[in-house]
Structure 1
Amino acid sequence: MGTILPALDFNEAIKIITGFISDALEFSGCDGFILGLSGGIDSATVASLCVRAVGPSRVLGLIMPTSTTPREDVKDAEEFARVLGIKTFTIDISDIQSGVSKLYRDNPKLSRLAYGNIAPRLRMTILYMYANNRNLLVVGSGNKSELVVGYFTKYGDGGADILPIGDLYKTYVKELARILGVPQRIIDKKPSAGLWPGQTDEDELGITYNELDQILYAIVDLGLSVEETSDLTGIDIKKIERVFGMIKRSEHKRMPPPSPSIKHLL
């Protein structure tokens, strides 16, 4: 399948993103950055950009596997961190995740999704513990494709101080990763949040990233309707309606918690 996504000037994108990262650090008054390394393409790309922006000595990586994390992902994260020259700590959170789940007392029993989402929220907590103690900013690895449809855990992997690739669709992230020297084996992996064994992003989303990115570009960037998006992309209208619903249902994830206004009473 082709694509309606326009060509991107990746050299200019790298310049903009690394400048953003550097400026964020200077503005914050912090001493560096910390991020979670999953062994996947997004975190590898973000780590590379951070190193380009501020140097390896100011970037710390945490590798936080669970019992469902493939061993090869841990190995890829550790090896690429060594290539980048950044310090890492590997912290297995399996027992913590299991322990937290045992605090659930209600019926029905804890769902697979609820159990899986414990892990990204634990990772966020651990990242901020290190960040607080070392005066670091937490860097998130969310891309535009995930952010727009809400494919992230609220107050989990969605919890960060900056999102360097938050305006890049997954299609662009793949090419950016190649330019930055991310190993091809990482780029070629099936994207997965690792919430349960065998879980993949595209299976859970019910659509490929190639299709998703075209739909999002048409709806978000071009402002097209569902019908116009189908005409332009040739993608089945039911898939487009599903994506449109995901955008609407996840709006709360992209907004701060709402409060009622009482200023008219003052």
Structure 2
Amino acid sequence: MALDRRFERDYAGLAEELAAWIAGYVRGAGFARVVLGVSGGVDSAVSSALAAGSLGPDKVHALLLPHAESDPDAEKDGRLVCEKLGLEAERIDITPLCAPLLDNIPPDARIRRGNVKARVRMVVLFDRSSALPALVLGTGNKTEALLGYTTLHGDDACGLNPLAELYKTEVWELARTLGLPERVIAKAPSADLWPEQTDEGELGMRYLEADRVLYDLAELGMDRDSLIAAGHEAAVVDHLLEIVERNAFKCRGPAVPPDFRQVGR
């Protein structure tokens, strides 16, 4: 399938720019290393590759953080990425860490249980960050951010995130440019928070379709009528706008009141 014109760019040049940015930020913050969770998905694979190319493989601490309910192939793919990039992987089974919390959550409360796993992984990452020391490297993309498809204080927590301005479509193209394993690029995206979960299954459409609408919304500032006039299906537009509006609070950070010290002065 031909790449949509919205996402045509010099991906080799982009990789170089992001690698330089990582090196500058990490060293400017007084660190020499980064730590990240390698899930076996394309996002963490691209973040890992950029960091390895920027700082050197020995300065990238990769954590494999499986749970008993995780897809076994996810860990295999994570190891495949680490081997490809020359990263030493540390495995920490989060099952016993999650158990006291999950014991109090019904089995059918999948989102609640998934959020616990994401936040426990965050705790492990930041503990390793303190011990090494190293900055936590993020793996979230712009598509996920716009849709609020993230766990607050979980997979969104990091010290720097090189993928933050890249749509999922662009992450895939960057992965191909970086020569990452096709198995990882081609697999169905999944947060692996419960068995057989997929991102696109929850979203109700392909990322490639969602990205076209989200790009026109966020980059071109189109409203609903303009999006439909541009050729996007009304049902798709309405579905995505509802998700964006419902989860907008995740993008804004904690709400802060006005400075009431100025009242009455």
Q: TM-score range by the shorter chain?
A: over 0.9
Per the alignment, residue 163 of structure 1 pairs with 161
User: What are structure 2's unaligned runs of at least 5 residues?
Assistant: none
Per the alignment, residue 113 of structure 2 pairs with 115
> Does the Cα contact within 8 Å between 1:35 and 1:60 map onto a contact in 2?
yes
2:150 to 130, 144, 152: 152
For the residues of structure 2 that align with 1:135 and 1:238, how far apart are their CA atoms? 48
Q: How does 1:142-221 map to 2 (within 5 A)?
A: 142-221=140-219
Superposition deviation, residue 30 in structure 1: 1.5
1:30-54 Cα deviation digits (max 9, x unpaired): 1310000001111001100000111
1:253 to 233, 250, 253: 250
> Does the Cα contact within 8 Å between 1:4 and 1:214 map onto a contact in 2?
no
> Does the Cα contact within 8 Å between 1:17 and 1:164 map onto a contact in 2?
yes
Superposition deviation, residue 116 in structure 1: 1.2
Superposition deviation, residue 29 in structure 1: 0.4
For the residues of structure 2 that align with 1:50 and 1:200, how far apart are their CA atoms? 26
> Does the Cα contact within 8 Å between 1:42 and 1:142 map onto a contact in 2?
yes
Per the alignment, residue 134 of structure 1 pairs with 132
1:223-259 Cα deviation digits (max 9, x unpaired): 1111221232x33212211211222222221223122
- How many residues align? The count is 262
Per the alignment, residue 32 of structure 2 pairs with 31
With over 3 angstroms needed to count, the CA separation of the structure-2 counterparts of 1:109 and 1:200, relative to structure 1, is: closer
> Does the Cα contact within 8 Å between 2:142 and 2:166 map onto a contact in 1?
yes
Superposition deviation, residue 65 in structure 1: 0.8
Cα RMSD, aligned residues only: 1.8
Superposition deviation, residue 11 in structure 1: 1.9
For the residues of structure 2 that align with 1:168 and 1:193, how far apart are their CA atoms? 18
Q: Which amino acid aligns with 1:100?
A: L
Per the alignment, residue 71 of structure 1 pairs with 72
Superposition deviation, residue 126 in structure 1: 0.3
1:129-186 Cα deviation digits (max 9, x unpaired): 0001112100110011111111111110011111101111111111110111110000
Q: Secondary structure at the match of 2:6?
A: coil
Per the alignment, residue 56 of structure 1 pairs with 57
For the residues of structure 1 that align with 2:97 and 2:21, how far apart are their CA atoms? 35
What TM-score, normalized to structure 2? 0.93
For the residues of structure 1 that align with 2:182 and 2:140, how far apart are their CA atoms? 20
Superposition deviation, residue 194 in structure 1: 0.9
User: What are structure 1's unaligned runs of at least 5 residues?
Assistant: none
With over 3 angstroms needed to count, the CA separation of the structure-2 counterparts of 1:235 and 1:187, relative to structure 1, is: same
> Does the Cα contact within 8 Å between 2:7 and 2:170 map onto a contact in 1?
no
> Does the Cα contact within 8 Å between 1:211 and 1:235 map onto a contact in 2?
no
With over 3 angstroms needed to count, the CA separation of the structure-2 counterparts of 1:25 and 1:235, relative to structure 1, is: same
> Does the Cα contact within 8 Å between 2:43 and 2:141 map onto a contact in 1?
yes
Superposition deviation, residue 83 in structure 1: 2.2
Deviates more, 1:252-261 or 1:36-45: 252-261
Q: Secondary structure at the match of 1:185?
A: helix
The percent of aligned pairs where both chains have the same amino acid is: 33
Q: Which amino acid aligns with 1:211?
A: E
